[in-house]
Each structure stands twice: as C-alpha cells, then as structure tokens.
Amino acid sequence: MKKAGAGDLAVNGGCPVRSTLLPYGHQTIDKEDIDTVVDVLRSDWITTGPKVSEFEDAMASRVGSKYAVSFSSGTAALHAAAFAAGIGPGDEAITTPMTFCATANCILYQRAKPVFADISRDTLNLDPDEVANRITPKTKAIIPVDYSGHPAELDALNKLAQDHGLIVIEDACHALGATYKGRQVGSISNMTVFSFHPVKHITTGEGGMVTTDDKELAARLSLFRNHGIVGDARQRQANGQWYYEMVSLGYNYRLTDIGSALGISQLKKLDDNLLRRREIASIYRAAFSDISSLILPVERPEVASAWHLYPIRLDLDLLTATRAEVFQALRAENIGVNVHYIPVHMHPYYRNLFGYEGGEYPIAEAAYERLISLPMFHAMTKADVDDVINAVKKVIESFRK
C-alpha cells in the first residue's frame, strides 16, 4: 500500500472517507418494535403493568436464570444489586478501574468504599490475582465487568468469592448473549446486571435487569426498586385493596410497560444482532491483523464475546502521533470512534475523594492511553464496515514511522 501523506488526511484538509458521521454505536428500531409500543400506549397500563413481568420472564429464559428483576436503567440495576448484596457503611467491594463510573458509583451509593484491582493485559478484564491481593475483612463483594462483551474470568472470581464468603455482582452491561465455558452470561454469578441503553445489544430506551438464581436476592431487588414497599399497585388494584407497607428504604427504579414492550420485541432479535456483531469483529480482525501498530481485542478460547465494543490499542512506539491525534484524524474521516474508558480512579471526583495520583493501576492506565473504540453495531452495512477499515488504514499509514 502506498504510504499516505499527512496532507491526504481529512483533519489536514483532505477528502474524508465518509460524507456523514458513522457513530460508534446505535439502536435499531423497526416496525414491529413501534407497533408493540403503540399497543401498550393504547392499553390500560403504560407504567409498571403486565409487560414488565413478561419481559422479566423472557430475559430469565434467555439467559437461563431463575429470576430476573427489571429496573429503570443499568445504573439503577447496579445500585439495587449492591443493596441486595448487603453492601453498606464500612464495607469494601472490589472492582475494575476499566469501566464506566456507574460500576464503582453503586458502591459509593451504599456508603461503602470501592477498591480497584488492575486488569489482565489481553482482555482488559479484572485480574483474579490482583483481586485476591486486595481482599480484606471489610470486603463484601467482587464486581467484575465483562469489558467490551468478553466475559471476565468468572470461575476464578467466583471461587475467590466462595472461599472468602463474598458475593459476585457481574456487570454484564456489555455482554448480553455472551457465553463463558458453554454457559450463558446471566446464569453464572450470584447476580448479573444488564443494561438496555440504546447503544447496547437490545434497548428499552433506558433500562436494566438483574438476573439471579437466589430467591431472597430477587425479593430484595424487587423491594428496592419500589420504594421499599411490599407488593405493587397492579396487585392491589387486582385484589381490590389499598393498604401497603414500606418495610425498607428503596427508590423508584421501576421500568415501564412501554420500555418492557420494546424490550420483549428487541429480545427476539438478539441472536441476529449477535451474529452480525461477531461477523463484523471477524472482518475487522482479518483487515487489521497485519498492521503491527494495532493491538486487536482478543477472544479467549473458552468464551464467545458479545462484541458490544471493538476496542483497538495503538502501539505508540510505532507511530508518529499520539492517541489524541489518531482519534481526531479518524473523527475527521467521519468515523465516530470513542474511548472506553478513562479509568475510574483518574476522574477528578475519585482523585479528590481517595487521593489517587496515577500509577496505582499501571495496566489499566497504559491501556487507556492507547485505546480507541471502532464503530460496532449490528445495523452497520458492508459499506459502513469498509469505510471504517479504509479510514483506519489511511490514518495509521499516514502516522507510521
């Protein structure tokens, strides 16, 4: 391939690969989804009604869990899981710095302390050995994240939890449909949290779910999302009753029938969604495998990733540009790249609260400095995928030493 000159780049005034921006993620809503939601809008229940339990049953069946409890967002689901796990003042919970801040914030919501552990170099998932080194008598839970859709080392983490009497809250907001050693994510950990934000595999607009096989945890989750009130309004109406009791402090974290109807319709399309994402990941790998300055995401033999993200890392020693310059060059080509994530301990709030200065989690911090997420969503066309490949090759070639 002829080496591209810096002047050829759109960021320097050259012609961009695309005329319009391709986002890194995007929802797909079809006529069936719209009709399903319209039917609910014409029904008696648009908030917490029959569609909520129908969606929960469908999710439990899909992932192979006994119970599924829905929430208004993935963050609300994480908060509820921290509550159900009994995390409270004076406790600690161990999680990864390589995540969206909500994973750690749910610990703070319970007035407990997030303790970070560094990550594995290949998957960027929580390293079980690092977790083991941070378990103390104050530790209550381990909260791994299935980063980019690749399941964490769940057997090792669950074994640590069992040995120390801890609960595992698996943040699988990236990983609906992923499998680990032949088992569905959502059926492995004490509690598994999913998100239905529009960039995820299925959407309810905003929404979340916690799956579990533990009846008591499911009851605590249900109580927490409904102000700590036993029962719900639909049950009281059906039974002709008015009396209710608040038995603990909870929140209004309920998902609506509108969102649940959309979720039921979207869930039917999950398998096709996963198939397309895996196809795109395979095309990217084939296209970029011979570019030495790119470190591609791995998929360990024992897992099937859900490919929520396709995060590449730059080998900056082989490039004349920084990550920021590569990022801006790709954006100028109208490729809507993103970065996932700024490690949580590097955010100003966490620095101020806990005194982090940088250098505490070297693998996560080094990965962050090199990460760029390429567009990855199931509605991408062949032309979209080709545009990403052409833009990446154009930009990387122009910055090659």
Which residues are known catalytic residues?
Answer: 200
d(C-alpha 351, C-alpha 340), whole Å: 19
Nearest Cα to Cα of residue 341 among 296, 373, 306, 293:
373
Alpha helix ranges (H) inside 111-172: 128-132, 154-164
d(C-alpha 82, C-alpha 86), whole Å: 7
d(C-alpha 107, C-alpha 99), whole Å: 14
d(C-alpha 366, C-alpha 358), whole Å: 11
Are the beta carbons of 209 and 183 closer than 8 angstroms? no
Which residue carries 């700024």 as its tokens? 342
342 Cβ partners below 8 Å, 6+ apart? Answer: 368
Are the beta carbons of 103 and 78 closer than 8 angstroms? yes
Nearest Cα to Cα of residue 99 among 77, 112, 118, 84:
118
CB atoms within 10 A of CB 162: 11
Can you tell me whether residue 154 is helix, strand or coil? helix
Peptide bond into 243 cis (omega under 30): no
* Structure-block tokens of residue 290: 């011979």
CA R_g for the chain: 22
Terminal Cα-to-Cα distance of the chain (whole angstroms): 15
In the sheet that holds 92-95, the strands lie side by side as: 67-71, 208-212, 191-195, 167-171, 139-143, 92-95, 113-116
Instruction: Identify the H or E element spanning 211.
Output: strand 208-212
339 Cβ partners below 8 Å, 6+ apart? Answer: 323, 327, 368, 371, 372, 373
Which residue carries 């759109």 as its tokens? 10
